[in-house]
Amino acid sequence: MFSLNGSSFLNNSLSGVSRSLTQSTQRKISAPPMVVASVTPNGKPGDRNVSVLMENTLKEMRENAPSSSSASLTENESKSTVGGGVEDVYGEDSATEDHYITPWTVTVASGYPLLRDPHYNKGLAFTEKERDAHFLRGLLPPVVISQQLQVKKMMHNMRQYQVPLQRYMAMMDLQERNERLFYKLLIDNVEELLPVVYTPTVGEACQKYGSIFRQPQGLFISLKEKGRILEVLKNWPEKKIQVIVVTDGERILGLGDLGCQGMGIPVGKLSLYSALGGSNCLPVTIDVGTNNEQLLNDEFYIGLRRRRATGQEYAELLHEFMTAVKQNYGEKVLIQFEDFANHNAFDLLAKYGTTHLVFNDDIQGTASVVLAGLMASLNLVGGTLADHKFLFLGAGEAGTGIAELIALEISKQTNVPLEEARKKIWLVDSKGLIVRSRMESLQHFKRPWAHEHEPVRTLLDAVKAIKPTVLIGSSGAGRTFTKEVVEAMAYFNKKPVILALSNPTSQSECTAEEAYTWSEGRAIFASGSPFSPVEYNGTFYASGQANNAYIFPGLGLGLIISGAIRVHDDMLLAASEALAAQVSQENLDKGLIYPPFANIRKISAQIAAKVAAKAYELGLATRLPQPENLVKHAESCMYSPNYRNAFFVHELVYVPQTSNFRITFELRKTLLAEMKR
């Protein structure tokens, strides 16, 4: 398939139309013939193409046209392109039946190609009228079923698969065949299917991406394309892109360097952007090689067979990409960095954070969702954030990102300097507790967390020395919250907060069962990957999932609807507060610090509204004036997966042989109505 959301044909057409309108004003034309064009979808049964009725109207032209052809074209140009956008291209605001615009050829998707177009295919849900209008008779069985019945059938089939990777492949196959049904299925069954299209299953899919690869779902930009990245971006058929998720595949989840096969992560993330937030998306993999020897020796590996580029070669390729994105899509496209290694992730965010609309989900998204969980947990453990001590296992992108956002919130709540707020937070890396005596050997992003303390080598000793109330794992190292560590947390705290965030499930610091059992049922537990409910001493415990999918779709939507030009830390705090506010007392009574995923679309709308409001407050919004009700506005901008009634505009093509056409008012209205859906 060509895109994850929307019609590539329609959007391609718009960009082509705009260019054609501009070009038409630059040609001097003497006494051009005028033609009336109209679309008749209900044409004769034998006509395989849409009927275009052409009528010579030279007499009418002489009577009504201005004396200068070029002047009339210039006048129409100014009317039709004021402000840009679909409405202006067609001149709908001031259109009359005699409004002249650049010539078109209009074709309608029909027949067998329609069934192979994932944007428009409805399968057995095509109505009787649609089957007649689009030459589908005989190409489908006679039964007509609803989209809801299709969803029921697909879920029945999905549950027959016992292997998660088989479910993943079935979902990807559906996405390539019927895009709206894919999103309808995902939205209606998000709690069951989220672990299929994203963590933990997507991790295995990335590991085996080469062997299961069938059809590209994003852009692959490698060192071969250096110097031509803008050209490569223009090859993507969808022109109206709002969000780009890009990875270089060096640190995929907790699985390490998967090179080009990391594409599964942007594809999965953008499926959630479209389903949960309603954005037009583009997945991108920057292939600079891989240091994974197993992949380099794998005959099915789909990426460059070379060691990773570093230094200037790497920086130049990324800079060309960032420049080309801004040039091709404008400054309001959101670029989400995904699964870059620590040494590149922080540098890219710092370098482009002031010039582009960029966001690192591993640093900022994880931080926002964890902070929301901590805010909600205060209803169970009491106190404020400033009253608690935090100990992290892991001092990479996620760990330091979470720590920084917690410190920002404490500073905001207590009006103390950020440096003072950081003293509540301690980090442990592979060499032990981060303390001031290690300052010289620390990476720059770890140095703010080097506090005065004697050296401590192990996590267990750090727990005993610091006595934290909150233990957070972001190490990517599985089973590091041992029985002794959890028991120590339970010894110091009546209700220890334990967050095992590493993905996938195999890399989680501990399981839900271990956390509840070793703490004697007293832990407030959440994890990065989902765990089944646990029974302990006759009580069932349902653990929450600190999944970034709570945050990034709503954050992205909020940035889009406000036209934000930069991502500010206060927007992340606003997103956290909005998510925490969605945790009900009923959820808290079950020990949950996150709301159910079943309500994720409503949650995303609430987050989008808070983020957009903050953008307006900070003066970073460009879509003016501010809507009165941002929640309703966000909901109205979300993607709807429901089937549309069929008028499938397949393509709009400029016809250069004739200098000027007149298209009927009815056709313009029909095309506009279709494009606005």
Domain ranges across the chain: 8-109+648-676, 112-145, 148-356, 364-546
Alpha carbon 456 to its chain's center: 40
347 annotated ligand-binding residue? no
Phi, psi of 290 (to 5 degrees): -150, 150
H helices present in 252-305, as ranges: 264-272, 293-296
From residue 149, alpha-carbon distances to 92, 160, 368, 453 in Å are 38, 17, 37, 63
DSSP string, 187-216: HHTHHHHHHHHSTTHHHHHHHTHHHH--S-
| Cis, peptide link before residue 448, omega less than 30° from 0 | no
Would you say the C-alpha torsion 286, 288, 292, 295 has a positive or negative sign?
positive
Angle between helices 190-197 and 179-188 (to 10 degrees): 120
Annotated ligand binding at 287? The verdict is no
Strand runs (DSSP E) across 204-353, as ranges? 219-222, 243-247, 281-287, 334-337
Catalytic residue selected from 269, 424, 610, 614? 269
Tokens 């505009």 correspond to what residue?
649
Q: Are 462 and 434 in contact, with CB atoms under 8 Å apart?
A: no
Q: How far apart are the first and last CA of the chain?
A: 20
In the block, tokens 């106190």 appear at: 383
Does the annotation place 362 within a ligand binding site? yes
Q: For the sheet containing 281-287, what is the strand order?
A: 219-222, 281-287, 243-247, 334-337, 358-360
Q: In the beta sheet, which residues pair with residue 525?
A: 498
224 given a catalytic annotation: no
Beta-strand runs (E) in 495-619: 497-500, 524-527, 534-536, 539-541, 544-545
Establish whether the linkage from the previous residue to 200 is cis, with ω within 30° of 0.
yes
* 660 is an annotated ligand-binding site residue: no
Contact 36, 664 (CB under 8 A): yes
Identified catalytic residue from 100, 168, 183, 198: 198
CB-based contacts of 46, cutoff 8 Å, min separation 6: none
Peptide bond into 113 cis (omega under 30): no
Low-confidence ranges of the chain (pLDDT < 70): 1-108, 646-677
Kindly tell me the sign of the dihedral angle through the C-alpha atoms of 197, 201, 202, 207.
negative
All residues at 6 or more sequence positions from 153 whose CB lies less than 8 Å from its CB, including other chains: none
User: Can you tell me the distance from the alpha carbon of 439 to that of 437, in angstroms, rounded to the nearest whole number?
Assistant: 6
Structure tokens at 161: 């698969």
Q: For domain 148-356, give its CATH number from 3.10.20.740, 3.40.50.10380, 3.20.20.100, 3.90.1150.10.
A: 3.40.50.10380
Any idea what the Cα angle at residue 290 is, between residues 284 and 294, rounded to 5°?
120
Tokens of 454: 């004697």
Distance of CA 457 to the CA centre of its chain: 39
**DSSP element (H, E) containing 36:** strand 35-37
**Quick check: is 198 catalytic?**
yes
CA distance 133 to 45: 9
Place of tokens 């299925």: 185
Closest C-alpha to 603, from 567, 568, 552: 552
Nearest to 361 by CA among 207, 195, 582, 550: 550
- Domain 364-546 sits in CATH at 3.40.50.720
Say what the pLDDT of residue 130 is.
Answer: 92
Give the DSSP H/E element, type plus range, for residue 405.
helix 397-414
Distance CA(341)–CA(324), nearest Å, equals: 23
Residue 251, annotated as binding a ligand: yes
Query: Which residues have CB under 8 Å from 628's CB, separation 6+?
Result: none
Q: What is the CA radius of gyration of the chain?
A: 28
**Contact indicator for 580, 177 with CB cutoff of 8 Å:** no
Helices 8-24 and 665-676, packing angle to 10 deg: 130
